[in-house]
Amino acid sequence: MRAVVVRSFGGPEALEIEEVPVPPVGAGQVRIRVEAAGVNPVDAAVRAGTLVAGGLTECREVHGIGWDVAGVVEETGPGAGGFAPGDRVIGLADRLDLPLGAYAEQIVLDAGAVAHAPVHATATQAATLPLNVLTADQALDLAGLTEGRTLLVTGAAGGVGGYAVELGVARGLRVVAVAGAGDEQLVRGFGAEFFVPRDAELGSAVRDLVPGGVDGAVDAAAVGTAALTAVRGGGSLVAVLGGAAPVPLRGTRVTNVWIRADGSRLAELVKLADGGRLTYRVAGVLPLDRAVEAHERLAAGGLRGRLVLVP
C-alpha cells in the first residue's frame, strides 16, 4: 500500500510517498481502509522534526504522518469488540512511536481510539473531527468550569478554537471569542455571546465585557500571557500548544492539554455532530500524492477549516 513518510526532517518537500507493507492487526486493534485523513498543524511539527527537538519522541529512520482518519474497518483483531469489517469509523493516531500515520491507504489503531463515524457526514468532513474536537473537549475538562461561568477562547475561528466555542456553549458556558475582525459572524454563529478582535488589547477588552475577567480560558492561539490578563484571579487557563503555558500569575491554574485518543468520548461527540451541534469545516480536498501541496497551503496560513487528503 502507499503511505506518506518522513525520512529527513524539513519543509513540505520532506514528505515522501512510499510503497509499504499493509500493517498487521494485533489484539484489541482494527485495521482501517483510509477514506480521508485530516491535515493538522501537528503533522507539520512531526515533519519538521519539532517534536523530536522538543523531546516528545525519538528520532527514527522513518516517521509516519497524520493523526486524523475516517474510513472503513477492513479487519479486527481479537478483543476489538464493538467493531466489525464494513463499519464506517473515525479515529485518532496519537502515538508518535509508530512508522505509519493516517496519511496512508490503510492504518491500524487500537479499538479504544476509534468510534463509529457520524451518520450525517462525508468521510472528508468526518476526518476533520477527531483531533480538533477531542483537544477542545479535553481542554474544557481541564478548565473545570461549571454551567453559567465565562470562558475565553482565543483562535476561535480555528479548528480547535471553533470546537471549543461550540462545546463550551453546549456545556452552558458564556463564551468570549477572540478572532480576526472578519470572523465575528462566524464565531457568533458557533454560539459565542461576546466577540473581541484579536488585535485588541486583550485584558482590557475582555474585562470591559466581563467585569473582573473571565473564569477560564482555552488559549488555542497561543497568545499566552495576553490571554491570562483576561482571566480573573484564581481562574484557569488551558494552553493548547505544548510549551505555550504562561506563568500562573494571580493564583490562576495554568495547564497544557496533551491530547489523548478516547474512542468512547469521541462517540459521544459524534452524537453532538450528528445533532447539528458541531460544525465541520473542510478547507479543501487533495489526493494523497499531493501531500506536499497540502503542507505548503497549511504553511501559507489563512485556511478556514482543515485540508483533507484522500488516498
Q: Give the domain range for residue 31.
A: 2-129+280-310
- As for how many domains the chain has, the answer is 2
Residue 202 CB-half CA count within 13 A:
25
Q: Which H/E stretch holds residue 35? A: strand 29-39
pTM of the shown model: 0.95
For every one of its 311 residues, what pLDDT tens digit does the chain have, with 9 covering 90 and above?
A: 999 999 999 999 999 999 999 999 999 999 999 999 999 999 999 999 988 777 777 788 899 999 999 999 999 999 998 999 999 999 999 988 888 999 999 999 999 999 999 999 999 999 999 999 999 999 999 999 999 999 999 999 999 999 999 999 999 999 999 999 999 999 999 999 999 999 999 999 999 999 999 999 999 999 999 999 999 999 999 999 876 788 888 989 999 999 999 999 999 999 999 999 999 999 999 999 999 999 999 999 888 899 999 99
Same domain assignment for residues 111 and 153: no
The position carrying cell 471553533 is 162
* DSSP-based three-state secondary structure for 33: strand
| CATH number of the structural domain spanning residue 112 | 3.90.180.10
Instruction: Give the Cα separation of 6 and 14 in Å (integer).
Output: 6
Flag whether 305 is in a domain.
Answer: yes
**Of residues 134, 135, 137, the one with CA closest to residue 242:** 135
Looking at the fold, whether 242 and 124 belong to one and the same domain comes out as no
Helix (H) or strand (E) holding 149: none
Q: Is 90 inside a domain boundary?
A: yes
162 within a domain of the structure (yes/no): yes
- Bridge partners (DSSP) of residue 33 are 72, 106
- Are residues 221 and 141 part of one domain? yes
